[in-house]
């Protein structure tokens, strides 16, 4: 009987240790998430867009037709947009399917991958749509958002390819 109890205690201890180390592994994976380096000249901390007369920049913010599926990072009109880490450019990305005449001025962006992530940056004119860049290298310049949406906080829109929340990477 004593042997059975000791054996049960040992098995429980081993299972508990496996369970705890699994949680530690999950926590360390969260801690090792890739973090975006500075995206825009003039915003070295990747300050997020708050709310203005055109809406709010947080992921999940209410929109006329649903919710915001990205995160807006403050970036001045004409500001240089940088690679947040080593990336591969995977083609053009356009935020609007049927842009108005004004929206055509900013209906541009790029698909990127790197750091185990797939994401899009909108409202910028990339220097190129393919190839690779090292962290901190120029991707392009932000479009003229004020001409399209006067009074908006100019920004680049970061959208994960699977439309999940990118906030944890900032």
pLDDT at 65 over 80: yes
Q: Which of 103, 145, 136, 140 is nearest to 125 (CA)?
A: 140
> What is the dihedral sign for C-alpha 153, 128, 103, 94?
negative
The answer to whether the beta carbons of residues 163 and 122 sit under 8 Å apart is: no
CA–CA separation, 1 vs 13, rounded Å? 18
Per-residue pLDDT band at 33 (split at 50, 70, 90): confident
| pTM, entire model | 0.81
| Percent over 70 (pLDDT), the chain | 81
The pLDDT value given to residue 31: 55
Sequence spans of domains, the chain: 1-32, 51-169
The pLDDT value given to residue 32: 67
Q: Which CATH class is domain 51-169?
A: mainly beta
């Amino acid at each position: 009987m004593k042997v059975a109890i000791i054996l049960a205690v040992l098995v429980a201890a081993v299972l508990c240790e496996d369970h705890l180390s699994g949680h530690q592994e999950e926590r360390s994976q969260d801690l090792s998430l890739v973090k975006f380096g500075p995206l825009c000249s003039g915003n070295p901390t990747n300050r997020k867009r708050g709310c203005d007369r055109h809406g709010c920049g947080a992921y999940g913010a209410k929109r006329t037709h649903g919710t915001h599926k990205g995160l807006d990072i403050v970036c001045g009109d004409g500001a240089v947009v940088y690679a947040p880490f080593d990336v591969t450019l995977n083609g053009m990305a356009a935020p609007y399917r049927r842009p108005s005449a004004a929206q055509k001025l900013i209906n541009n962006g790029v698909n990127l991958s790197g750091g185990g992530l797939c994401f899009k940056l909108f409202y910028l004119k990339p220097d190129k749509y393919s190839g690779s860049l090292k962290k901190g290298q120029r991707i392009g310049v932000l479009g003229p958002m004020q001409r399209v949406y006067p009074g908006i906080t100019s920004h680049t829109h970061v959208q994960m390819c699977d439309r999940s929340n990118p906030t944890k990477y900032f």
